Amino acid sequence: MHKTYKIFILDKDTTYMTPLVNGLQKAGFKVICWEGNQKAIDIARDVKPDLIISEVDLPDFDTYDFFNEIRSIQQYKTVPFIFFSSQKKVDDRIKNIEIGIDDYISKPFYVEEVVSRVKNLLNEVSGIEKAQGQTEKGFSGNLTEMNLVDLIQTMELGKKSAVIKLKHQNSLGIVCISNGEVVDANLEDLPPDKAIMRMFTWTVGAFFVEMVSVKLNRRIEKSNKKLIDIGVRRVNDWEQIKQGLPPLSAIVVKTNSNNFEQLSDLEKELLSGIKNKVRIYDLIEQSSLDDLKTLELVRGLHQKGYLQETEDNYSHYVDDYLKRLKAQAHNGKSPSERAQAIVANLFKKETSQRQQRIPDRRQQQDRRKYGRRSEDRCNRGNPVYLTKAELLMLREALL
């Protein structure tokens, strides 16, 4: 039976409250609103909420005190907390995230967006709780460090039986393994083969492995070797195609171009299905075509100028930054170290490429034999040919 989550809302602004309460109730949540006639902390204790939403600027009420008081109660240490505010300054948002707020929503907002963020936070918390509960009979981790191909290989090696749960964006997928062989996969309404193909491309998210005996009829006919071959190829192709695109969380929109002559039938079909703004992720998931094929088509349409990013992507970019900030908020680093880590992360990939490009001994021998390569020529230049006095003069002129 599904648990009914309780949401506790502190806000007196009925303009926003009424539609939000309706939206949350419609989504299956039990909503309790604070009217201000009792101490909020007493109500919170009585209600035992699973998530709290609060306006930051309430008259005669210190929201930050309330937040600290809630967090000091052992039972509510992990209850997600969302702040609402009309303040739009990014600094304020950062400040709130830094004190440990789980999410921050600016007014005005779309009810659907708040409902979706509430669901995500509750999923996140229940995922962590589940993972904690499963540590004795399994293990969990991050898909960036270990993707589905790695997990299948690990299970195959020890001929283990397990249920692997993968969480990516708002989707939850399941792969069943019996004696090291993949026997079934579930993801939404997709057939097992298509479900596992989609999960191969998930390189961001979490996994939980439950070591249990699996007695299921085999619904995936391909051998592990074949699946792993396909999986590795798909991950490589996926990453390669992604290079030419904005982040898959970006929102794209159709441009006004009416010249469809240079488009293939599949491109035309995909384009005709886009009515409004859409996230690239959603576009791929909604398409009846293979995910990889759809991604390739999206890239083609984007490069030919039929799809373009919308202005909305700025907020996603900042949200992404705030998420990273939140993830690093309590790891003991100073704010400037955190900022540095986040920015360094923007350029991370190139560092790893650089490491790969260190020539091996044989290449170095070849280089000695055939002469220096162009990059060596680059290194011959670049002395700082201005003196210290000249540089200081230049600096002064730039003040």
Structure tokens at 202: 């998930």
Residue 382 touching other proteins (CB under 8 A): yes
Residue 256 in 3-state DSSP?
Answer: coil
Residue 349 touching other proteins (CB under 8 A): yes
Quote the least distance from Cβ 114 to other proteins, whole Å. 22
Complex with other proteins: residue 195 or 251, whichever CB lies closer: 251
Residue 378 touching other proteins (CB under 8 A): yes
Residue 144 touching other proteins (CB under 8 A): no
Residue 356 touching other proteins (CB under 8 A): no
Quote the least distance from Cβ 90 to other proteins, whole Å. 5
Contact 38, 30 (CB under 8 A): no
Residue 380 touching other proteins (CB under 8 A): yes
Q: How far apart are CA 69 and CA 56, in angstroms?
A: 15
Residue 89 touching other proteins (CB under 8 A): yes
Q: Which stretch binds other proteins (CB under 8 A): 33-41, 218-226, 253-261, 380-388?
A: 380-388
Taking Cα atoms as reference points, which of 141, 135, 195, 140 lies closest to residue 171?
195
What b/e readout covers 343-381, taking b as 16+ CB neighbours within 10 angstroms?
A: eeeeeeeeeeeeeeeeeeeeeeeeeeeeeeeeeeeeeee
Residue 360 touching other proteins (CB under 8 A): no
Residue 353 touching other proteins (CB under 8 A): yes
Contact 181, 156 (CB under 8 A): yes
**Cβ-proximal residues to 208 (8 Å cutoff; 6+ apart), any chain:** 127, 130, 131, 134, 138, 139, 140, 164, 165, 167
Structure tokens at 7: 């949401």
Quote the least distance from Cβ 285 to other proteins, whole Å. 20
Residue 393 touching other proteins (CB under 8 A): yes
Residue 180 touching other proteins (CB under 8 A): no
Cα 27 to its chain centre, rounded Å, is 23
Residue 322 in 3-state DSSP?
Answer: helix
- Among 41, 73, 90, 327, indicate the residue that binds other proteins (CB under 8 A): 90
Complex with other proteins: residue 157 or 397, whichever CB lies closer: 397
Q: Which residues bind other proteins (CB under 8 A)?
A: 89-91, 94, 243-244, 246-247, 250, 309, 313-314, 317-318, 321-322, 335-336, 339-340, 342-344, 346-347, 349-350, 353-354, 357, 374-375, 377-382, 384-388, 390-399
